[in-house]
């Protein structure tokens, strides 16, 4: 049995976030080495602050400064820090209740080992050298045995408050197209298009998925289709996509390969874009080393009758 393909897939994007008044003050405060909480309606001070009261749901905006020192309320040792975590040496994840706060903040504690960490231990903020208005402005916490530091009584008003942040999100996957699509891709390397027939409804799926989405049964019977096919419908793309290296205008078409029961998608070339039509007969054009046909071009045959492909749009 041919090899099932696998490849890394990294999904990464910088998301922008508008902060609103409370998060804006909190993150701007960190830039200025000030930790702000918010007063809830029951008198508690919440750090990190939230915009709406967790008990009454009322809007809360009464910002108060708390100390950069506090107490560990619980912790977990991180043996192997990963990319993007606060420290690149082993550290403790800690919940820290800052002096003056009633809730705890999640951060990292720089400690030599798990034996040096305990619930109830005193810690203080280690500020980052360069601060921009982000939670990483607190580089981490560090053990501290001095007196609680007094807040300076900051009001939460800043001259140049930040209003938004950019939050990078990244997900790393190992992607596998599975057995059926792997077979399809292996066949394409021989410039053959091979689908699978459903044992129940007898429809030929190209590309195959290993199962029929209508009947819900596994498919295994290989059926070679094409190479020729019919353009069943299409659009003319006039805007260039950032992630695509295709000159516009180009024709993006649904192509029903001869013998297939649903259309696959491809680009039409070898004909002016404004002469492409439904029913046009086409064949694949390969370029050296490519996994897929570069495009499809007219075969010169007469156009297919609408009735022969109207179920394959």
> What are the φ/ψ torsions at residue 162 (nearest 5 degrees)?
-80, 150
Which has the closest alpha carbon to 117: 174, 77, 69? 77
Minimum CB–partner distance for residue 25 and another protein (Å):
12
Minimum CB–partner distance for residue 33 and another protein (Å):
24
How would DSSP label each residue in 218-284? B--EEEEE-SSEEEEEEEEE-S--TT---PSSEEEEEEEETT-SS-EEEEE-SS-GGG--TT-EEEE
Closer to another protein by Cβ: residue 110 or 183: 183
Size of the site for another protein (CB under 8 A): 66
> What are the φ/ψ torsions at residue 197 (nearest 5 degrees)?
-100, 135
Closer to another protein by Cβ: residue 32 or 53: 53
User: Measured between alpha carbons, how far is 185 from 206 in angstroms, rounded to an integer?
Assistant: 11
Residues of span 45-64 touching another protein by CB under 8 A: 50-57, 59
Residues of span 177-216 touching another protein by CB under 8 A: 177, 181, 185, 201, 203-205, 212-214
Which has the closest alpha carbon to 203: 190, 214, 189? 214
Counting runs of H as helices and runs of E as strands, what totals does the chain give?
A: 3, 18
User: Measured between alpha carbons, how far is 244 from 282 in angstroms, rounded to an integer?
Assistant: 23
Interface pattern 150-179 for another protein (x via CB under 8 A): -------------xx--x-x-----x-x--
Residues of span 253-312 touching another protein by CB under 8 A: 253-254, 261-262, 265-267, 278, 291-292, 306, 310-311
Interface residues toward another protein, by CB under 8 A: 5, 7-9, 11, 13, 15-20, 23, 50-57, 59, 163-164, 167, 169, 175, 177, 181, 185, 201, 203-205, 212-214, 232-241, 243-244, 246, 249, 252-254, 261-262, 265-267, 278, 291-292, 306, 310-311, 313
């Amino acid at each position: 049995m041919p090899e099932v393909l696998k490849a890394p897939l990294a999904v990464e994007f910088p998301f922008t976030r508008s902060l609103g008044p409370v998060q804006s003050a909190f993150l701007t405060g960190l830039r200025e080495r000030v930790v702000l909480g918010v007063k809830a309606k029951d008198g508690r001070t919440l750090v990190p602050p939230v915009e709406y009261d967790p008990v009454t749901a009322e809007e809360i905006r009464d910002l108060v400064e708390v100390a950069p020192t506090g107490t560990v309320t619980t912790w977990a040792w991180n043996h192997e820090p990963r990319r993007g975590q606060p420290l690149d040496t082993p550290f403790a994840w800690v919940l820290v209740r800052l002096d003056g706060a009633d809730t705890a903040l999640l951060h990292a504690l720089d400690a030599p080992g798990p034996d040096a960490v305990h619930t109830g231990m005193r810690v203080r903020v280690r500020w980052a050298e360069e601060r921009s208005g982000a939670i990483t402005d607190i580089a981490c916490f560090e053990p501290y045995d001095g007196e609680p530091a007094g807040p300076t009584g900051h009001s939460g008003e800043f001259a140049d408050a930040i209003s938004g942040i950019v939050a990078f999100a990244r997900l790393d996957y190992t992607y596998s197209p599975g057995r059926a699509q792997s077979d399809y891709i292996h066949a394409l390397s021989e410039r053959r298009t091979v689908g699978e027939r459903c044992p129940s409804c007898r429809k030929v799926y190209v590309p195959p998925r290993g199962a029929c989405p209508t009947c819900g049964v596994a498919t295994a019977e290989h059926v070679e289709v094409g190479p020729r096919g019919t353009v069943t419908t299409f659009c003319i793309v006039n805007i260039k996509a950032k992630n695509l290296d295709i000159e516009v205008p180009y024709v993006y078409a649904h192509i029903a390969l001869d013998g297939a029961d649903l259309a696959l998608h491809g680009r039409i070339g070898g004909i002016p874009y404004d002469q492409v039509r439904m029913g046009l007969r086409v064949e694949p054009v390969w370029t050296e080393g490519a996994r897929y046909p570069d495009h499809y071009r007219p075969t010169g045959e007469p156009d297919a009758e609408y009735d022969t492909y109207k179920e394959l749009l």
